[in-house]
Amino acid sequence: MERYVVAFLRASMAWLAMGVTLGVCMTVHPGWIVYRPAHLHMLLLGFVMMMIAGVAYHVLPRFAATSLYSPRIAVAHWVASNVGLTLLASGFIVRLHNGPIGAWLLGVGGVLSAAGAYAMVWNLWRTLDRAAVPPSRLMNTGRPLTTMSSSPGR
């Protein structure tokens, strides 16, 4: 398994643990409900999106019978999304205590998080552009692929 795939899957699980911990704190201390945006972005941008990224970077190139367009962009995505989410989640918390610093953290974190998302879109889009095209003899025969692939010599 590629290292950036493992890194995304591990980051996803780390964000799950941190987001759930904040969620439990919110249930134990009802006043902490004000941290809900941090909780939900740790879980949706962190756990959910990074799990999707890790699985997509592993599975989509294999589905498409090609390699990932740019492993370096995937690494840049990992850095941008993790630094970005750290700043974003911090910003959601800090803005309640210090408005200007919180706004700065939210702005930088938001731009980095978005940059990571755009990088993933670009990388996977270009990967799908390179998807292997089935041989023309397998197309437009009107028969299911399983029948054709199980017929030796066709």
> What is the binding site for ligand HEM (CB under 6 A)?
20, 23-24, 26-27, 33, 36-37, 39-41, 43-45, 47-49, 88, 110, 113-114, 117
Residue with smaller CB distance to ligand HEM, 7 or 49: 49
Shortest distance, position 20 Cβ to ligand HEM, whole Å: 4
Element (H, E) at 97: none
Residue by residue, DSSP assigns 70-91 as -HHHHHHHHHHHHHHHHHHHHH
Least distance CB 91 / ligand HEM (angstroms): 8
Q: Which helix (H) or strand (E) holds 66?
A: none
Q: Which amino acid is at 101?
A: I
Residues 22, 39 contacting (CB under 8 angstroms): yes
Residue 19 beta carbon to ligand HEM: minimum distance, rounded to whole angstroms:
6
Q: Which is nearer to ligand HEM, 12 or 127 (CB)?
A: 12
